[in-house]
Amino acid sequence: MREKISKSPVYINEHFVVEPCLSCPIPGYLIVSPKVPSLSLSELDYNTLTSLGPTLAAAIRAIEVVTHPERVYCALFAEQTRSIHFHLFPRSAWILSHYASAHPADHEISGPRLLDWARRAFHPPNPSDFIETVEAIFRELDHNV
């Protein structure tokens, strides 16, 4: 089920909310959060935990189909926002080239460093195709669930 909250599309299933990361407008960068906030995965009820894997897999598949990244990172940090949530970050050749330009001494890819850099380097306003890309991802997610 897709909904719009404050001009941004949001996908909601029985246990999770999937929304674009508006603070770092990389097309395909999504945040997956449980509908019932929790400080730890161990606090989620059985049905929510059972839905977690399929929800993450369907969202990643939708990102892959629409944006064709080289890899999709899936990370759980919950530092700034204490309730658990997952970052689904599409690593593309485009983002790697920008990272390499900013960090010419880095010869190996570090997913955590790249994600941290992207979150500091890319800020709104969103690219012109940002919402269209997110809507395409959510249409694909509708087909995968």
Q: Which tens digit of pLDDT belongs to each residue from 23-35?
A: 898 989 999 999 9
Q: Which region among 2-6, 94-98, 136-140 has the lowest average model confidence (pLDDT)?
A: 2-6
3-class DSSP assignment, residue 113: helix
Distance in angstroms (rounded) separating the CA atoms of residues 92 and 17: 24
Report phi then psi at 28, rounded to 5.
100, -10
CB atoms within 10 A of CB 103: 13
- State the pLDDT confidence band at 145, using cuts at 50, 70 and 90: low
The whole-number pLDDT of residue 7 equals 55
Rounded Cα–Cα distance for residues 49 and 55 (Å): 10
The pLDDT of residue 87: 96
- Residue 3's pLDDT band (cuts 50, 70, 90): very low
Has residue 1 got a pLDDT over 70? no
From the DSSP assignment, how many helices (H) and strands (E) are in the chain? 4, 6
Residues 51-55 have a mean pLDDT of 96
For residue 117, what pLDDT band results from cuts at 50, 70 and 90? very high
pLDDT number for residue 101: 92
The pLDDT mean for the chain works out to: 89
